[in-house]
Amino acid sequence: MLNIILMGPPGAGKGTQAKKLIAAYGIPHISTGDMFREAIKAGTPLGKEAAGYINEGRLVPDEVTIGLVKERLSKADCQHGYLLDGFPRTLPQAEALKELTSELHSPISGVINFSCDKDELIRRISGRRVCRNCGAPYHVETLKPKVEGVCDICGGELYQRKDDTVEALKTRLSVYYKDTKPLEEFYRQEGLLHEVDGLLGVDELFKKINVIFREVDQR
């Protein structure tokens, strides 16, 4: 079973690897950040509640986020595994997830923890551009599209997320170090933590994660 968590600071490469992994393994990608952004775009009550927190780089309250993930993980397409990206981000979220997966009789099988130094995170995030339509990630220096401002995959418009500005990023990084980094210890104690180097190239990192997936899947 592949019930996997991708964990690490913003900009460490989780989203890019998630896109490759879901294509390779055919399991659903559950990104709480994407779910919130979709709700904001659609103007739902959830989106209205989450927008203020997200634009400032703060965390959406635990009870809202946990409720959203509970509903999503209970859907049929998660029965054969899933890739959680951006959840859990706090200890109460990790505890709620443990309880939920035990109720579902399908525990988390592994946590891939991406490490990356702070200067590199700032460089990556402040230059990041994302396709408004399909969510594909680009970078103004290191991953340019063929035509400026246009997605290579679907032709959608590329934009900078409001929370990728230097100001919001400072908040996101301090939130990460304060609330999310302690989860490394939580999952180390559970025997689930697998460390990977987010500074590696996309393909090299993908190979390493594949090795971990194979190991975890055989247990």
What positions carry a catalytic annotation?
A: 14, 89, 128, 161, 172
Binding mask 164-203 toward ligand AMP (x if CB under 6 A, else -) reads --------x-------------------------------
- Using CA atoms in the order 186, 189, 194, 197, what is the torsion angle rounded to 10 degrees? 60
86 counts as binding ligand AMP under rule CB under 6 A: yes
Of positions 3, 17, 32, 113, contacts ligand AMP by CB under 6 A: 32
CB of 53 closer than 8 Å to CB of 59: yes
Q: Whole-number minimum distance, CB 183 to ligand AMP, in Å? A: 11
Q: Is 217 helix (H, G, I), strand (E, B) or coil?
A: helix
3-state SS class at 7: strand
Residue 27 or 173 having the CB closest to ligand AMP: 173
Quick one: tokens of 172? 């996101």
Q: How far apart are CA 106 and CA 98, in angstroms?
A: 10
Asked whether the beta carbons of 52 and 39 are under 8 A apart, the reply is no
Q: Considering the rule CB under 6 A, would residue 11 count as an interface residue with ligand AMP?
A: no
33: contact with ligand AMP by CB under 6 A: yes
**Which residues in this chain contact ligand AMP in the complex, by CB under 6 A?**
10, 32-33, 36, 53-54, 57-60, 65, 86-89, 93, 163, 172
